[in-house]
Amino acid sequence: MIYGRRPRQLLVVWGASLVSIALIYWLEYSAPALHELLLPFYWIILALAFYLTWRWLRARSRKDRRGQDRRRTDRRDREDETTSS
C-alpha cells in the first residue's frame, strides 16, 4: 500500500493496458501488414497508463492538502458552549 491507499486502480489500469496490448499484438500477428498502422497504439496505451499512474501517485502524495481532515470536529461543542453561557 502506498500512503495507506489500496493499489486496486493501478492494477486495473495496468491490467487493462496489458490486455489491450496483447489484443493489438494478436491482431498484428494475424495480419502482419497492419504493423505500421498499429504501432502508434502501443505508445498511446503506454502513455495513457503512465499518465494515469502518475495521477494516482500524485493524488496520494504526502503533500496532498486533503490528507488531513480540515473540518473542526468540535464545532458543535463550541456552539453549545456559547449558547449555554
CA distance 80 to 46: 56
| pLDDT tens digits along 16-67 | 999 999 999 999 999 999 999 999 999 999 999 999 999 888 765 555 555 5
| pLDDT tens digits along 38-49 | 999 999 999 999
- On whether the pTM is more than 0.75, the answer is no
CA distance 11 to 17: 10
Count of C-beta atoms within a 10 Å radius of residue 13:
19
